[in-house]
Structure 1
Amino acid sequence: MNHFTNDPSRRRFLRNMTFGAALFTTRGLFAEQLARTPSLTEGPFYPDKIPLDADNDLILINDSITPAVGEITHLTGRLLSPNGSPLKDVTMEIWQCDANAVYLHSKDSSSKKKQQDQNFQGFGRFTTGSSGEYRFRTIKPVPYPGRPAPHIHVKLKRGDQELLTTQIFVRGDEGNKRDGVFYQTRDLIDRELLQTDFTPIKDSRTGELSAVFDIVIGRTPDENAFRNE
């Protein structure tokens, strides 16, 4: 498994590469800073009605025993400040289209041309504790019409304050090369920071996957949000 963007030492390496010129002139400058996760557009299909079941398991809705269609994926990671400190009391929201490429949004799911997977929750939340860790069970993302790169949308909040909106991409997916949103991030390092591996879990009888994606939230423009970190 490639943890290139999730190993703090490698994130520091990326950060140092970005600010290499400054490092030559100011000894130690940024040396202990982790590379920040780039922000990306929210997109048109953040749910216009939050589902009653908005927990961190998107595979099963309420007490249903019928799982969603798709490759079950355990999405995990940590929310960190640039100095590597875990961020607690941050709510992470994710949303994505189902295996039929339908979002949980009235402008998409109401289309007569699309068949929505009624067993896929489509949206979930998780609030971090002292370790900064988050955990979701969802499906491996699939392409969406107009978006050839499979992706998961992410929004981070603390109280009423939005800290970061971004997207998680499948590392090495061919659709990334044709995706306009992915390529609006022109910096090669930022593109690397937006991708992660979806790796088969050893001995899983159902072919489940693991995706590890650490998120580093910058101090600006939300300096006050990290005052106590």
Structure 2
Amino acid sequence: MSEHRAIDRRTLVLSVGALGTTALLPKPGMAASLVPTPGQTEGPFYPVSFPDDADNDLVQVQGAAARALGTVAHIEGRVLDRGGRPIPGAVVEIWQCDAQGRYRHPRAPGHDRFDGGFQGYGRTAVDAGGVYRFRTIKPVPYPGRTPHIHYGVIVPGAGRFVTQMYVEGEPRNERDGLLASIRDPQARRSVIIPLRAMGDGEPGAVRGTFDIVLEL
């Protein structure tokens, strides 16, 4: 359902297998202007297997009669280097809990009651301008965590970068240990994204922009 090119499961598995969770390291003497996106933990619920439907629309699962519960969120952004240049060939993946706070993972509490209309995981390749887009749900809290969406960015030949996106205005942000672990205020602000009513397009949905800046 993506307007951008999808990457098939075999390609992603080969990419992740070859790159693992290799950190993206800066090159010595590199000119920099943008603030790098801070890395965050992958967490315990990264998928142990990819769903058959793993495109960038997490709200409508192929073959499911109903769409996902929760507020639809259109999240887009660019994958850039510190000079503001798009990074070609990057693959962006996201994973998050459903509207009831449950992950699609065998060790997650309540996983047997995971919303069957929600994909839980999605991926897409950036376009020529470094742009990615996802249609998902507005993240919700669960015990111990403020609302967030996990991100992984795979850059062929460079590695895999992991971070998390948070929602502006959430009162739990102030008490979230992982968010607070980002000590630099500017870097912390860069992962806290406003989600606002679209005004046009899909009724009742919200929209946000999350740019990811990598040190290559």
Gap regions ≥5 residues in structure 1: 1-28, 220-229
Gap regions ≥5 residues in structure 2: 1-28
CA separation of 1:52 and 1:176: change in aligned 2, threshold 3 A: same
In the aligned structure 2, how far is the partner of 1:102 from the partner of 1:161?
32
- CA drift of 1:159 comes to 3.6
- Partner of residue 68, structure 1: 68
In the aligned structure 2, how far is the partner of 1:165 from the partner of 1:71?
25
Structure-2-length-normalised TM-score:
0.81
In the aligned structure 2, how far is the partner of 1:48 from the partner of 1:146?
22
In the aligned structure 1, how far is the partner of 2:34 from the partner of 2:43?
27
Contact 1:200 1:208 in 2 (8 A): yes
- Partner of residue 105, structure 2: 105
- Partner of residue 41, structure 1: 41
- Partner of residue 6, structure 1: none
- Partner of residue 127, structure 1: 125
- Partner of residue 150, structure 1: 147
- CA drift of 1:163 comes to 3.1
Report matched runs for 1:82-121 at 5 Å: 82-108=82-108, 115-121=113-119
Structure-1-length-normalised TM-score:
0.77
- Partner of residue 216, structure 1: 213
Report which of the two has the higher share of helix: 1
CA separation of 1:205 and 1:35: change in aligned 2, threshold 3 A: closer
Please identify runs of 4+ aligned residues in structure 1 that moved more than 4 A.
Answer: 29-32, 109-112
Q: How many residues align?
A: 188
In the aligned structure 2, how far is the partner of 1:205 from the partner of 1:134?
18
Alignment RMSD, CA only? 2.0
**Secondary structure class of the residue paired with 1:192:** helix
Q: Highest Rg: 1 or 2? A: 1
Contact 1:75 1:211 in 2 (8 A): yes
The amino acid that maps onto 1:119 is: G
In the aligned structure 1, how far is the partner of 2:106 from the partner of 2:158?
26
**Secondary structure class of the residue paired with 2:69:** coil
In the aligned structure 1, how far is the partner of 2:95 from the partner of 2:158?
19
The amino acid that maps onto 2:209 is: V
Contact 1:77 1:134 in 2 (8 A): yes
